[in-house]
Amino acid sequence: MFFRKGFLIIVCLMILNGGALCSLGFAQGDFLFSLSSGVVADPGQTVALYFVLDSPDSIAGVDVLLEFDPILLTCNSVELLPHFQYFSYDKSVPGRLRVVVRRHQEDSTYLPPLPPGNVVVGLIWFEVTSQDLLMDIETPVSFFEDPQTPFSDNRLERSDDSFVAPPELSFANGGVFIKHPLYGDINDDGYAYTIADAIFFLNFLAGGQQFTPRQRANSDVNKDGVQASMVDLVQLIQAIVED
């Protein structure tokens, strides 16, 4: 059983790579909650990580607590897909996110528990820092158990109000891979500090050109964390002239 559960988690992590969703079988008694892993982002970009639940039983509610690096990631919002009538999230503690989800809300039209199977519960929107990280960095988003709470922080709720918690419930953590910019390569052609980069930047500031997330990250020429500014353009032109 241990080998089978470990194999299941590894396979799901592989399928989730790049934000894809996992869809696979499971052994009776095995519950798996996964987050997207290997999501690639540029500094300053906003990205989404999916919640995916694999369950052999009907589920009426979900409670999770996540941990991440607040210097690298900021939680903007949580979006639940229309399987549930109630959800709330608390991001008041830097680097922590608590999400509570219920299939049925009191005083609403009754919704039965989710049937067994693979369900995308929702997604979390993270904003990546725009500061210069000096290198490519992979930062995790992990299921977290607070030792100060008397109950499991990550659990599922059945229709009879009983809970599913570890070790019956397993987790596959997620993460974001932050790519280091090629500063000065404004048009993202692989060459930095060229006349073409300056023209591309001027067209953007004039409103005639849009930046991709990668181009916006590359535009922070003075590396002050403020992307696509006039100061960046001036420094870009100075670098081109002095070269």
For 87-103, the DSSP string reads EEEE--STTEEEEEEES
Interatomic CA distance for residues 219 and 66, integer angstroms = 32
Residue 98: how many other CB atoms lie within 10 Å:
19
Task: Specify the pLDDT at position 83.
Answer: 84
Whole-number pLDDT of residue 6: 41
CA angle at 118 for the pair 112 and 119, rounded to the nearest 5° = 60
Q: How far apart are CA 101 and CA 92, in angstroms?
A: 18
Mean pLDDT by 10 residues, the chain (243 residues): 38 38 44 95 97 94 97 96 90 96 88 92 96 96 94 93 93 97 97 97 94 97 96 96 86
Which domains, ranges and CATH numbers included, belong to the chain? 2-178 (2.60.40.680), 195-242 (no CATH)
pTM for the model stands at: 0.83
Task: Identify the DSSP state of 22.
Answer: P
What is the DSSP secondary-structure string of 183-211?
TT-TT-SS--S-HHHHHHHHHHHTTS-PP
Q: Are 36 and 50 in contact (CB under 8 A)?
A: yes
Alpha carbons 177 and 40: distance in angstroms, whole number: 5
> Which amino acid does the sequence have at 196?
A
Report the distance separating Cα 222 and Cα 229, nearest Å.
10
CA separation for the pair 176, 99 (Å, rounded): 19
Instruction: Please list, residue by residue across 165-180, b when 16 or more beta carbons sit within 10 angstroms of its beta carbon and e when fewer do.
Output: eeeebbbbbbbbbbbe
Q: Cα separation of 26 and 28, whole Å?
A: 7
pLDDT at 58 (0 to 100):
94
Tell me the C-alpha distance between 16 and 177, whole Å. Answer: 14
Q: Determine phi and psi for 19, rounding to 5 degrees.
A: 90, 0
Task: Please name every residue paired with 190 in a beta bridge, in sequence order, or none if there are none.
Answer: none
